Chains A and B, each alone.
Chain A
Amino acid sequence: MSVDAENVRRIAHLARIAVADDEIEHLKGELNAILAFVEQLSEVDVAGVEPMTSVTPMAMKKREDIVTDGGIADDIVRNAPATQDHYFVVPKVVE
């Protein structure tokens, strides 16, 4: 499989990464080189093989449903580029 310029634009949008028009051709070439490289997986017989979900066999750990952390709003917003009263500030989303 390979991607065309339109696919590259769509993928960039899905990934929320702005890509300039003059970069599309180059990116297309790089992505297709990677896709061509991984294409060799299609020759592997994977019939009846379970996909890996956990590399080491382990039971899902559970813990009590209790609050273990919190009250650190100052810390949470400390590195934010724009805040107001412990809120993150973003452009208007809902009209």
Chain B
Amino acid sequence: MSELTSFTLAAARDALRRKDISAMELADAHLAAIEAARALNAYVLETPDAARTMAAAADARLAKEEARPLDGVPVAIKDLFCTKGVRTTACSRILDNFVPTYESTVTAQLWRDGAVMLGKTNNDEFAMGSSNETSHFGPVISPWRRHGANTTLVPGGSSGGAAAAVAANLCLAAAGTDTGGSIRQPAAFTGTVGIKPTYGRCSRWGIVAFASSLDQAGPFARSVRDAAILLTSMAGHDPKDTTSADVPVPDYEAAIGRSVTGMSIGIPKEYRMPGMPPEIEALWHQGAEWLKAAGARLVDISLPHTKYALPAYYIVAPAEASSNLARYDGVRYGLRVSGNDINDLYEKTRGEGFGKEVRRRVMIGTYVLSAGYYDAYYLRAQKVRTLIKRDFERCYADGVDAILTPATPSAAFGIGEKSSGDPIEMYLNDVFTVTVNMAGLPGISVPAGLDAQGLPLGLQLIGRPFDEETLFALGQVIEDAAGPLVPERWW
């Protein structure tokens, strides 16, 4: 494909400012690439008209030397962000043809800074999934394939479309969301960089809610620097989200290249899972060695409640989801299936509008919150959550600056391979990422190498609250050592 689509965000930004390229030609090159890659099903809505209007405006500002931080940079938006006048579905049938009359705060900040919207990307329905197979629009096909095979693989999920679009050069970067690993796991599967910032760093206003105490927005990009640039625009206090943190947002790009000498990196023994492929173990060790070679100190640490994070998550997240998704009633927006009375209307609308995974989680959530079960399930899970957070707090109080773990327990798997039988098998994908959401911490996934079959693997760095800068500095060390991972074009 055209060279214009293989730019990093940082290089494109600089080329735009030098007027080596125009925002319009950059947008056009990406729109053409998206059209040629429809087989991947990464986008559920292409917005070429909006892209060209925004690119023209960016070019006008660039001509007047009034460039904004992201002027002319084409990005993709997960279909969980409400975009004014642009259909937003959370990839659920129940939102049908919902066209928001408002803009989410995060996307509004991207447009404020001059970014250009290429379209809305595919995701698991309501972000519930780890493979992008629960989308009402069908699965996303990963741009990656195993050596010498043409088996279609998942890009991970829930932000699978955003990850695939970034990996396949269908945008320079993308905005996703992460409730239990939905940015970091697909980033690891597609050889891209993804960061879930500290809870409260990005406003949740205008993002379709899944589990409000866990949901956070964050960027996907092809380099650590690009992710830092995008997060600087996405983050910030918003009075419209009472859980958004009123703390200043640093210029994250300035953290790139910062020395990591003397930093203390925790290696948690509980992340050494039984049955973990030796390649993952070796990669983890390799990552630790890279950080050590850059001057960091490695420390063995213990996070004793790690194994309880996933079961606690599967109580807390469905409980919050069952409450959040009560709003889909067939009355105010979205799909409506007529019934004999109001209850019949609700039940039929929700029965037909929700897919199987969403239905399953709403029902589990309803059960654990119901009379007689609340204490045994929900309250206990919230206490376990306190213990999980304490594990991290203890390590940070002991002087650990960041924690290094594998991002996922395996490389990407085939479409249909894990979606038929036991739901738990799919849930285990998030075993290394979910702890971070439960504790509200920032976590970044950085591509670190290929497995024997030629598929990307990622490493995760977990930071102190509101210390994303350390993650960018350390992530850059891994990126420098591992180099970028690029899929061979077959689509």
Contacts and interface: CB of A to CB of B under 8 A. Distances in A.
Contact of A41 (B380, B389, B427): B380
Contacts of A66: none
Contacts of B200: 56, 58
Contacts of B373: 1
Interface string B300-318: 0000010110011011000
Contacts of A60: 242
Contacts, number: 164
Nearest to A43: B308
Q: Which 3 A-B pairs rank lowest in CB-CB distance, beginning with the nearest?
A: A18-B351, A55-B440, A51-B382
Given A30-B360, A39-B311, 5 more contacts: A11-B363, A17-B354, A17-B359, A55-B199, A91-B345
Interface in A61-95: 61, 63, 72, 75, 78-82, 88, 90-93
Nearest to B350: A17
A44 B305 contact: yes
Contacts of A1: 373, 376
A51 B336 contact: no
A21 to B, nearest CB: 13
A30 B322 contact: no
A5 interface: no
B150 interface: no
Contacts of A53: 382
Interface of B: 98-99, 101-102, 198-200, 213, 239, 242-243, 245, 305, 307-308, 311-312, 314-315, 322, 326, 329-336, 339-348, 350-352, 354, 359-360, 362-367, 370, 373, 376-377, 379-387, 389, 422-424, 427, 438-440, 465
Nearest to A72: B101
A14 B341 CA distance: 16
Chain B interface mostly: helix
Contacts of B346: 16
How many A residues are at the interface, by size bracket? Answer: 35 or more
Contact of A50 (B312, B362, B383): B383
A71 B168 CA distance: 44
A24 to B, nearest CB: 11
B376 A34 contact: no
Contacts of B381: 38, 41
Contact of B363 (A17, A44, A82, A91): A17
Given A18-B351, A82-B336, A51 B345 contact: no
B332 A46 contact: no
B180 to A, nearest CB: 13
Contacts of B363: 8, 11-12, 15, 17, 27, 31
A93 B346 CA distance: 13
Nearest to A14: B366
A90 B365 CA distance: 27
A78 B367 contact: no
Q: Choose among A38, A42, A61, A88 the residue with the greatest number of B CB atoms under 10 Å from its CB.
A: A38
Nearest to A36: B424
B68 to A, nearest CB: 27
A55 to B, nearest CB: 3
7 contacts: A15-B350, A17-B362, A30-B360, A44-B380, A46-B383, A46-B384, A56-B199
A44 B384 CA distance: 8
Nearest to A75: B101
B199 to A, nearest CB: 5
A37 B426 CA distance: 13
Contacts of A50: 383, 386
A25 to B, nearest CB: 14
A45 B308 CA distance: 12
Contacts of A54: 213, 243
B200 to A, nearest CB: 5
B368 to A, nearest CB: 8
Contact of A49 (B99, B326, B387): B387
Given A30-B423, A49-B383, A40 B340 contact: no
A81 B331 contact: yes
A91 B333 CA distance: 16
Nearest to A42: B380
A44 B363 CA distance: 25
Contacts of A33: 422-424
Given A17-B351, A18-B348, A61-B242, A56 B440 contact: yes
